[in-house]
Amino acid sequence: MPKVVRPSHRYVRALGMTPVAGVDEAGCGPLAGPVVAAAVILPTKGVPRGIDDSKKLSANERTRLHGRLMHCAIVGIGIVEADEIDRINIYWARMKAMTLAVEALAEFPAHILVDGNRLPRWDRPATAIVSGDTLCLSIAAASIVAKHTRDTIMLAHHEAHPQYGWASNKGYGCPAHFQALREHGPSPLHRQSFAPVRRSGFRDDESFAQHATG
């Protein structure tokens, strides 16, 4: 049986300094909506049980843990909207969202642990950890906050644009979303620089304006 890997405090302990913020993002791949990053400084005691990579948790588990984390941890959120993603590309949008999340923290971290293999251009100590949301407890907590926050945003956008099915797909590409793009064209919340949106059939400005405001 394969070994079950769960996030732990060992990366924070190895640094020998506090406070340490874990940072992760959600929403790099979708066709619509923002990219959202979270930075989380966990408390020294009373960390909620069940924290794990957000992708391994159900929506109900993420909601429960998000509520617990917002009460016991120091949390910062960074959001970059679709129009800015189109201007600067998704890579730099991800970097900016993480920077905004750290800047939103009420306490300055002594060190930052980031999921992945790239770091924003910070003038502060930071470490990138591949699969950090699986290995590091504070990054896993950030993944939960980022995912829950973005899902909540997309649920709200679904009310104004129900034809795209964002209540279920959260803006990611799926057959129903692709079909809606073909039938209705892109909304103002779609990422126009992403190929499936560009190919949706409404390329001239007049057609896009009619369908984006209809």
Predicted confidence band of residue 213 (pLDDT cuts 50, 70, 90): very low
pLDDT tens digits, 156-210? 999 999 999 999 999 999 999 999 999 999 999 999 999 999 988 554 334 333 3
pLDDT tens digits, 24-81? 999 999 999 999 999 999 999 999 999 999 999 999 999 999 999 999 999 999 999 9
Under 8 Å between Cβ of 94 and 5? no
DSSP secondary structure, 171-184, as one string: T---HHHHHHHHHH
**Mean per-residue pLDDT for 106-124?**
95
CATH of domain 10-158: 3.30.420.10
pLDDT tens digits, 4-29? 567 888 888 888 888 999 999 999 99
Distance CA 31, CA 196 (A): 8
Distance CA 23, CA 101 (A): 8
Q: What is the mean pLDDT of the chain?
A: 91
Distance CA 8, CA 58 (A): 20
Cα dist from 41 to 11, 36, 73, 205, whole Å:
13, 17, 6, 45
Query: What pLDDT is stored for residue 110 in this prediction?
Result: 95
Distance CA 10, CA 23 (A): 16
> Is the predicted pLDDT of residue 212 greater than 60, yes or no?
no
pTM of the predicted structure, to 2 decimals: 0.90
3-state secondary structure 120-152: CCCCCCEEEECCHHHHEHHHHHHHHHHHHHHHH
Query: What pLDDT is stored for residue 8 in this prediction?
Result: 83
